[in-house]
Homo-oligomer: A and B are copies of this chain.
């Protein structure tokens, strides 16, 4: 049976960009589950599965509908225990939450700063207007005034990745010898940036960039199926 993923897109439906949807796409591939996607624009989210969630990802697996990327990963591990684990045990489940919070608070704000104009440009007219209105309200400034902090913030952003960089001196993945959902959490954030903006967040020589490249290669190069922004 195929699992349906409601996946956030802009004008180009072949380049889904949501960090949270990417977490789930990678998790589904990790479990080896067949997938079909329903390309979903911002303004279509409230109608997904009769309004089950204010955000995507949402999945439908037969009669079961699950929203929220972390909840989906927990569901997949519970529903498909015979397939490769996404957490590597109860400790991994708990600590993946810490990594999610770290990624959300450390990486997401800077990706927003760096890519917000590009993300706006990816939307069709109606969705672009929604994106501008909702983001300007949330951030308290015009999109054009958000991106001005990009160059000045780059060094601080790269320095903030130091825990991940240091960890990669011990092991190739956050999950250890091989990737787990915790890797897909951080991957999702950087993939969001890769797809939205040509702005270079990481130096190529950075071990974090090398880890990200390894993640792009996973599951038949799934992450590379959406081209980087150019």
Contacts and interface: CB of A to CB of B under 8 A. Distances in A.
Contacts of A96: 91, 95
Contact of A92 (B90, B101, B171): B90
A164 interface: yes
Q: Copies per complex?
A: 2
Interface of A: 85, 87-99, 101-102, 104-106, 162-164, 166-167, 170-171, 173-177, 180, 182
A106 B167 CA distance: 13
A163 B106 contact: yes
A92 B95 CA distance: 7
Contacts of A180: 91, 94-95
A189 to B, nearest CB: 13
A177 to B, nearest CB: 8
Nearest to A176: B94
A55 to B, nearest CB: 17
A162 B87 CA distance: 23
A167 B88 contact: no
Most chain B beta carbons < 10 A, residue from A164, A166, A180: A166
B95 A173 contact: no
Contact of A95 (B98, B166, B177): B98
